[in-house]
Chain A
Amino acid sequence: MVACCAEKTYAGTTIADVVLRAAVSRTTFYRLFDDKRECFDAAVAQCIGRIAATLTAAAADCDSPAEATRRGAAAMLDLLAAEPELALILSGDVVGLDPALVDRYSSFTVPALEAMWGREGAPSPKHLSPGLAFGRAQLLIFHEVAGGHPERLPALVPDIVYLAIAPFAGHDEALRQARLAGAEVAA
C-alpha cells in the first residue's frame, strides 16, 4: 500500500494494485481489511510507528531537549531520504485525504516535544502553535519528496530543528540550534 501510494497516490491506487504488489490474493486482502481506506489507515499507522521508533532511539541519552531535537531531526530525515515513500504517504496522501489523520500523527510528536521542554521548565508555546510548526515541517519535507529529491532531505535538518524548537524557545534560540545542527550534519 505504501509503495503504491508513493507511485500513484491514494486516489490513483486500486486494491488490484495493492494485492499485485504484495503478492497476496484478493481474498487475503479482504480477510485483513474491509476496504482500501482501512488498509491505507493501517499503512499510515505503520509508517508513523517507524518514525516514532526512530525519534525515540535518536533522543535516548540526550542531555537536553535541544540536543534530542537535533538528533531526532537528523535521524528522521535520514530515514525518509532512504525511504521516501514514507514521506510521500505521510505528508502527501494523508494531508489530502483526511486532516484528522494528520492530527493523529502530529499527536505523537507534539506532546513528546512539549513534555521534553516542559521538564526543562520552558514556558508554554509562545510563538506559534507546535501543531502549526509541525504542518510546516511536513510541507518542507513533502516539497522535496514530491519534487523527486529525497536525497536533499538531510539538508533540511536545520529547518526542521528550527521549526521544532521555535515554538518552545523562540526564534533566536531556534536559529542558534539550527546552526548547531547544520554544523553537526556537515561534520
Chain B
Amino acid sequence: MTDAAALPRGRHGLSREAVTRSQRARLLGAAARVTAARGYEATTVADILAAAGVGRETFYELFEDRRACVLAAHQELLDDLVWHVRVAYEGPGEWVERCRATLRALLEWFAADPALGRFLLVEPAAVGPEFHAIFQAGFDRFVAVLDAGLDHDLPDPHPLPATSLAVGAAISRVYAEVAGGRAARLPALLPQLTYETLVPFLGEAEAREAAFRCSEAAG
C-alpha cells in the first residue's frame, strides 16, 4: 500500500471529487501509520490530521470520529492484502504452484511493511467490540478466496474443513511473527508454511514434496 501524496498547493485543475478522494486516502494512510506507531489508545484525531496534512473540518466531513477513520483504514488495508493474495492465487500453474505463489505474496506483503502488518493484525483488538466482527469477516474472506480456486481433484479430508485449517495455519504463523516483531523473516518461512497449509489437503508425503520444491526454487 502506497501513501497518497499531498496535492499541489495553490490553484490546480482538480475536481472536487478528486480532492476529496485524495484527502480521504491521505487520512486513511495517516490513520494506519499513526495507529501502528503509537497504538490505538494513544492516537488522537489531531495526530492523524498532522500526519495527513488535512484540516479538522474535512476530517469530520468524511468520518464520524477517530474510531470510524481507523476502522476504515483497517478495512482498506485488508482489501489491499486480499487483492494481493487473490491475484497470486488466480495466477498461472497447477493448484499447488498457485498456493505457493499465494503464500509467497502473503509473506512478502507483511515483510514489506511490518508496521502496517501490525496495524492490520494486532491493533483491531484495541478498538473495541467491533474487533470480533472484523476478525470473523476477515477470516471468512480468505476462506472464500481459497475455496473459489480449489482444485476439485484434491482428496477429500472429510470431516476436516481443510480450507479453514489452511487459512488458520497461515494467519497464526503470520500473527506469531508479526506480533513478535519478526515480520522481516516471514519470507524465509515459505517452505514450512507451504507444508502446514497444504498438509490437510494433500497428506504428508505430497505436502512435504510441495514444501521441498519451494526451497529448491529459492535456492
Establish whether residues B133 and A146, one from each chain, have CB atoms under 8 Å apart when the complex forms.
Answer: yes
Interface residues on A, range: 35 or more
Interface digits, B19-60 against A, CB 8 Å rule (1 contact, 0 not)? 000000000000000000000110000000000000000000
Q: Is the contact region of chain A dominated by helix, strand, or loop, or is it mixed?
A: helix
**CB contact list, A155-187 vs B, under 8 A:** 158-159, 162-163, 166, 170-172, 175, 178-179, 182
* B128 interfacial by beta-carbon distance below 8 Å: yes
Known: A132-B172, A142-B135, A143-B136. A95 touches B125 (CB 8 A): yes
CA distance A53 to B207 in the complex (A): 36
The stretch of A18-26, A71-79, A111-119, A133-141 that contacts the partner chain = A133-141
Nearest B-chain residue to A97, judged by Cβ: B125
Q: Is the contact region of chain B dominated by helix, strand, or loop, or is it mixed?
A: helix
Establish whether residues B132 and A146, one from each chain, have CB atoms under 8 Å apart when the complex forms.
Answer: yes
Count the A-B residue pairs with Cβ separation under 8 angstroms: how many?
A: 105
* 4 residue pairs, one from A and one from B, having the closest CB atoms: A96-B125, A146-B132, A135-B172, A12-B128
CA distance A143 to B135 in the complex (A): 7
* A7 interfacial by beta-carbon distance below 8 Å: yes
CA distance A170 to B196 in the complex (A): 11
CA distance A182 to B90 in the complex (A): 33
Residues of A within 8 A of B196 (CB): 127-128, 132
Nearest chain A CB to B169's CB is how many angstroms away?
6
Residues of A within 8 A of B124 (CB): 96
Establish whether residues B133 and A99, one from each chain, have CB atoms under 8 Å apart when the complex forms.
Answer: no
Q: Could you jot down 22 A-B contacts, CB within 8 Å?
A: A8-B128, A8-B129, A9-B125, A9-B128, A11-B126, A11-B131, A96-B124, A96-B126, A132-B176, A140-B168, A146-B131, A146-B132, A146-B133, A159-B164, A162-B160, A166-B199, A171-B203, A171-B207, A175-B200, A178-B160, A179-B159, A182-B159
